[in-house]
Structure 1
Amino acid sequence: MSGVEEQASLLRVLINCAEKAANIARICRSNEQLLALLVQEKIGSEANERFEHDFKTLADVLIQETIKHEVGALFPAMKDAILGEESPNFTNQLGESVTIAVGATEEDTAACLQAVLSGHEDAASALATEVHRDVSFSSEKLGEIAQLPDELDYGNLGIWIDPIDATAEYISGDTMFTDFPGITSTGLDCVTVLIGVYERDTGVPVMGVVAQPFGEKLEENVYSSSMFWGVCLPTVRAHNCDFEARDENRRLGIFSSSEQSDILQRFLDLGYEFAFSAGAGHKALKVITHEVDVYLLSKGSTFKWDTCAPQAILRALGGDVLDYAASVAEQKAVPLKYLIEDAEADADWKRNAGGIISVRNVDVVDELLAKLAEQ
């Protein structure tokens, strides 16, 4: 692969990785017995404090390690800066700790998975086949893939991965609808795969891919992916997210069901209607698709892997994801950044501790911030 071909292919590689992730998620979800075997409760520092029970699945870990393996192999300059939500360690039914790793061959990967799926060699083999399958996502909705600049410095790029956002929804699969057509409160529609690229020196997100593994229902228990991407570089701004607003005469915000009542009241005072939904990636996606105007979470319960990909896409659209607390305090838009050196000074550096505001149009921010600052 020549340098130009390599540089032009990063976005395509990420899209194909997202589709491979979606395939793995669908396979793991298609068999309830297999799904029950895969689920492992998160404990301690891995758990999200917002939820009584937090889970990780083998699908999460396998997807993350697959993306890290594929991108690292094709773009070695990025290999050490590919970060994800999940620990690669998994405990099998015998209580043995196994580190999930993608092997050089399908057989190597299957052997590793068999150590987790004790006695389920067929399932391990099926998953290994998907990990090593050549995947090239194709859809009219994907649009023409942006060509990246030849001078892009891959050594200055890092990646945040959330392999399956809204894991609880992925496990339960129970769908509930909001009062707004097309916006679900819970269910498989809320599940997303998030892959975000950022500049390591500035911390600015520059490329994002968001996939919904269960975006389009073809028939009972058969789904295909919905895929969204965006690039925001100094010389390239492109995306496949040309969506008309739901209704320009109505304002709609999307929130977690746990959002503070006083925050909601301030939105109500500004004439907003509310939708409540699961999944940080899903709620940000509703901003991207122009179905809502703003997604706000005042609590610091999202992480870098939740926001990097949506923020890159929103930046390509003229929007952004802001630090809620800093923006209100300073009365100006303060975008989230992804500086790794923060890890040395802040043990909680992966968390968006100040909360977030996701907007497709930054022009709405001033009015929002003024209202949110009222005593």
Structure 2
Amino acid sequence: MAGVLQALVGASEKAAHIARLCRREEPLFQLLVAEKTGADRNRRFLQDFKTLADVLIQEVIKHDLGKQFPELQGHIHGEESNEFRNGQDSTNEYIGGREDVAPVDGIAPAGLCSALVLVGAYDRRTGCPVLGVINEPFFRRDPLTRRWQGRYHWGVAYGDTRLCSLSPPPLRPAPCVVLSRAEGAAVRAALGPLCGDRLRFAAGAGYKMLCVILGLADAYVLSEGSTFAWDACAPHAILRALGGGAVALAGALRARRAGDTGPPPELVYNCPAEGAAGAERWANRGGLVAYAHPQHLEAVLAALATLPEL
């Protein structure tokens, strides 16, 4: 397990270097963007883009991990196909992410800093995430060279082992919840009495889960099925290492309404959605709640259980 973790960290560092390198020359970077089409496209967005950096990063990780651990070959998966066609630019956080977005209580509402490298591993039998590495390629700029510097975080949650590069965040009396700006008014209204003025907004599912990991937020709520296994696996593993987790929102609410007092169902990563095609096979249908403390998870679920449409 230690060897696999070391390999994931090494792969994430190489990936972060590629991400920084591809953005360094702006005219070249604008040529390295292609639009996703067909089954690979995220249905939530009118346009969904990938960059050459995405494809290079994914293929490098597959190559390096497969070479070091031949038994994993054929079991390393990612978001992008390795076919790349040149296309037009977009405004996602890596392609068009601003570098001057001011954070709100430490949470960046948008911008380049929310573009992350996520590398996770799950148990193929149970689907439970066991290892996670999050790399922040654009954590800060060096004041002298003006070049970007990164940092990474890791977590192990395997059997009875819980190890993490971070300490568990403190338990606050009232949770701060981070949402997507596209989240519906009903969810915002339901969480309002619980959170007061502590609702925050940010871009990127992985980044919002990282905010929970770092203690900048206590939970991340998403009511739509617009995230995927590759968005959640790595941060989910780290949250588990810290004593938290990530649950399937719709399933958790159904269980709660049925009187089930047991732990809500966690997201799993070994079961593609039946009847779906392409990327949708790995969508987290029914939304999710990522949390650091079980008490905050219960409070969030209680607030959302009042909504009949969820």
- TM-score above 0.5: yes
Give the corresponding residue for 2:248: 323
Query: 1:65 Cα shift?
Result: 0.3
Give the corresponding residue for 1:199: 123
Structure with greater proportional strand content: 1
1:248 to 135, 147, 172: 172
Aligned 8 A contact 1:255 1:297 in 2: yes
After superposition, the Cα gap between the structure-2 partners of 1:169 and 1:221, relative to the gap in structure 1 and judged at 3 Å, is farther
Query: 1:352 Cα shift?
Result: 0.4
Does residue 370 (structure 1) correspond to residue 302 (structure 2)? The answer is yes
2:55 to 61, 66, 74: 61
**Which amino acid in structure 2 is aligned with residue 364 of structure 1?**
H
Aligned 8 A contact 2:136 2:152 in 1: yes
**Which amino acid in structure 1 is aligned with residue 266 of structure 2?**
P
Query: 1:345 Cα shift?
Result: 5.9
After superposition, the Cα gap between the structure-2 partners of 1:49 and 1:221, relative to the gap in structure 1 and judged at 3 Å, is farther
2: CA distance, partners of 1:335 / 1:224? 34
**Which amino acid in structure 2 is aligned with residue 24 of structure 1?**
I
1: CA distance, partners of 2:199 / 2:19? 30
Q: What RMSD in Å do the two structures reach over aligned CA positions?
A: 2.0
After superposition, the Cα gap between the structure-2 partners of 1:248 and 1:92, relative to the gap in structure 1 and judged at 3 Å, is closer
Q: Deviations over 1:138-191 (max 9, x none)?
A: xxxxxxxxxxxxxxxxxxxxxxxxxxxx9811111214335x232111111101
**Which amino acid in structure 1 is aligned with residue 221 of structure 2?**
L
Structure 1 unmatched ranges of 5 or more: 1-6, 94-165
1:24 to 15, 18, 28: 18
Does residue 292 (structure 1) correspond to residue 223 (structure 2)? The answer is no
Aligned 8 A contact 2:168 2:243 in 1: no
Does residue 86 (structure 1) correspond to residue 18 (structure 2)? The answer is no
Give the corresponding residue for 2:132: 208
Does residue 361 (structure 1) correspond to residue 293 (structure 2)? The answer is yes
Give the corresponding residue for 2:260: none
Other structure's SS at 1:40 match: strand
After superposition, the Cα gap between the structure-2 partners of 1:92 and 1:49, relative to the gap in structure 1 and judged at 3 Å, is closer
Other structure's SS at 1:18 match: helix
Give the corresponding residue for 1:271: 195
Aligned 8 A contact 2:34 2:86 in 1: no
Structure 2 unmatched ranges of 5 or more: 257-262
Give the corresponding residue for 2:282: 350
The count of residues paired between Structure 1 and Structure 2 equals: 294
Query: 1:244 Cα shift?
Result: 4.4
Q: Kindly indicate whether structure 1 or structure 2 has the higher relative contact order, using CA contacts under 8 Å at least 6 residues apart.
A: 2
**Which amino acid in structure 2 is aligned with residue 372 of structure 1?**
L
Query: 1:195 Cα shift?
Result: 0.5
Other structure's SS at 2:151 match: strand
**Which amino acid in structure 1 is aligned with residue 212 of structure 2?**
V
TM-score under structure 2 length normalisation: 0.89
Matches within 5 A, 1:2-13: 7-13=1-7
Aligned 8 A contact 2:33 2:86 in 1: no
Which of 166-175 and 318-327 deviates more?
Answer: 166-175
Does residue 225 (structure 1) correspond to residue 123 (structure 2)? The answer is no
TM-score under structure 1 length normalisation: 0.74
After superposition, the Cα gap between the structure-2 partners of 1:167 and 1:194, relative to the gap in structure 1 and judged at 3 Å, is farther
Query: 1:290 Cα shift?
Result: 0.7
Identity across aligned pairs (percent)? 41
Matches within 5 A, 1:29-178: 29-92=23-86, 168-174=92-98, 175-178=100-103
After superposition, the Cα gap between the structure-2 partners of 1:181 and 1:366, relative to the gap in structure 1 and judged at 3 Å, is closer
Other structure's SS at 1:177 match: coil
Give the corresponding residue for 1:153: none
2: CA distance, partners of 1:177 / 1:264? 23
After superposition, the Cα gap between the structure-2 partners of 1:59 and 1:184, relative to the gap in structure 1 and judged at 3 Å, is same
2: CA distance, partners of 1:81 / 1:344? 20
Does residue 334 (structure 1) correspond to residue 265 (structure 2)? The answer is yes
Query: 1:263 Cα shift?
Result: 0.8
Query: 1:343 Cα shift?
Result: 5.8
1: CA distance, partners of 2:160 / 2:173? 34
Q: Deviations over 1:91-112 (max 9, x none)?
A: 258xxxxxxxxxxxxxxxxxxx
Q: Deviations over 1:75-124 (max 9, x none)?
A: 1111111000000001258xxxxxxxxxxxxxxxxxxxxxxxxxxxxxxx
